[in-house]
Structure 1
Amino acid sequence: MTDALKRLSDEGVAIWLDDLSRKRITSGNLAELIDQQHVVGVTTNPSIFQKAISQGDGYDTQLTDLAARKVTVEEAIRMITTSDVRDAADILRPVFDATDGQDGRVSIEVDPRLAHNTRATVAEAKQLAWLVDRPNALIKIPATKAGLPAITETIARGISVNVTLIFSLERYRAVMDAYLEGLEKAKAAGLDLSKIQSVASFFVSRVDTETDKRLDAIGTDEAKALKGKAAVANARLAYQAYEEVFSSDRWAALEKAHANKQRPLWASTGVKDPSLKDTMYVEELVAPNTVNTMPEATLEATADHGEITGDKVRGTYEQARADLDALAKLGISYDDIVQVLEDEGVEKFEASWNDLLKSTEAELKRLAPSEG
Structure 2
Amino acid sequence: MSTPTQKLTEAGVSIWLDDLSRPRITTGNLAGLIESHNISGVTTNPTIFAAALSGHGYDDQVNQLAADGVSTDDAITELTTDDVRDAADVFRPVFDATKGVDGRVSIEVSPDLAHDTEATIAQAKQLSAKVDRPNVHIKIPATKAGLPAITAVIAEGISVNVTLIFSLERYAEVIDAYLTGLEQAKAAGRDLSKIHSVASFFVSRVDTEVDKRLAAIGSDEALALKSKAGIANARLAYELYEEQFASDRAKALLDAGANVQRPLWASTGVKDPSLPDTLYVTELVAPGTVNTMPEKTLNATLDHGEIAGDKVSGNYVDAHKVMDDLAAVGVDFNDVTELLEREGVEKFVASWRELQQSVENALQAARA
Fold shared per TM-score above 0.5: yes
Q: Who is 1:45 aligned against?
A: 45
Q: How does 1:297-316 map to 2 (within 5 A)?
A: 297-316=296-315
Where 2:307 maps in the other structure, the secondary structure is coil
Matched, 1:187 2:186: yes
CA contact (8 A) 1:2 1:36 kept: no
Deviations 1:144-167 (A, max 9, x none): 000000000000000000000000
Deviations 1:146-198 (A, max 9, x none): 00000000000000000000000000000000000000000000000000000
Q: How does 1:135-284 map to 2 (within 5 A)?
A: 135-284=134-283
Judge which range, 359-368 or 251-260, deviates more: 359-368
Q: Who is 2:35 aligned against?
A: 35
Q: How does 1:327-366 map to 2 (within 5 A)?
A: 327-366=326-365
Q: Who is 1:65 aligned against?
A: 64
Structure-2 separation of matches of 1:288 and 1:210: 28
Letter paired with 2:48? I
Question: How far off is 1:366 after superposition?
Answer: 1.6
Structure-2 separation of matches of 1:218 and 1:45: 34
Question: How far off is 1:2 after superposition?
Answer: 6.6
Where 1:263 maps in the other structure, the secondary structure is strand
Question: How far off is 1:31 after superposition?
Answer: 0.2
Structure-2 separation of matches of 1:8 and 1:315: 17
Structure-1 separation of matches of 2:256 and 2:182: 10
Where 1:258 maps in the other structure, the secondary structure is coil
Q: Who is 1:95 aligned against?
A: 94
Question: How far off is 1:296 after superposition?
Answer: 0.2
Structure-1 separation of matches of 2:264 and 2:255: 24
Deviant stretches of 4+, over 6 Å = none
Structure 2: state its 5+ residue gaps. Answer: none
Structure-2 separation of matches of 1:113 and 1:264: 25
Where 2:16 maps in the other structure, the secondary structure is strand
Q: How does 1:62-141 map to 2 (within 5 A)?
A: 62-141=61-140
Question: How far off is 1:256 after superposition?
Answer: 1.2
Letter paired with 1:254? L
Question: How far off is 1:223 after superposition?
Answer: 1.2
Q: Percent identity?
A: 67
Structure 1: state its 5+ residue gaps. Answer: none
CA contact (8 A) 1:25 1:88 kept: yes
Deviations 1:117-139 (A, max 9, x none): 10000000000000000000000
Structure-1 separation of matches of 2:327 and 2:252: 38
CA contact (8 A) 1:223 1:330 kept: yes
Letter paired with 1:279? T
Structure-2 separation of matches of 1:42 and 1:338: 25
Structure-2 separation of matches of 1:194 and 1:147: 23
TM-score, normalised to structure 2, is: 0.99
Letter paired with 2:53? I
The RMSD of aligned alpha carbons is 0.8
Deviations 1:44-85 (A, max 9, x none): 0111111111122x0000000001111110000000000000
Deviations 1:328-353 (A, max 9, x none): 01111010000000010010111111
Structure-1 separation of matches of 2:47 and 2:254: 36
Judge which range, 356-365 or 172-181, deviates more: 356-365
Letter paired with 2:189? G
Question: How far off is 1:358 after superposition?
Answer: 0.6
Question: How far off is 1:302 after superposition?
Answer: 0.3
Give the count of matched residue pairs.
368
Matched, 1:25 2:29: no
Question: How far off is 1:35 after superposition?
Answer: 1.4
Structure-1 separation of matches of 2:215 and 2:274: 14
Structure-2 separation of matches of 1:256 and 1:221: 50
Letter paired with 2:30? L
Question: How far off is 1:218 after superposition?
Answer: 1.1
Where 1:364 maps in the other structure, the secondary structure is helix
Letter paired with 1:106? V
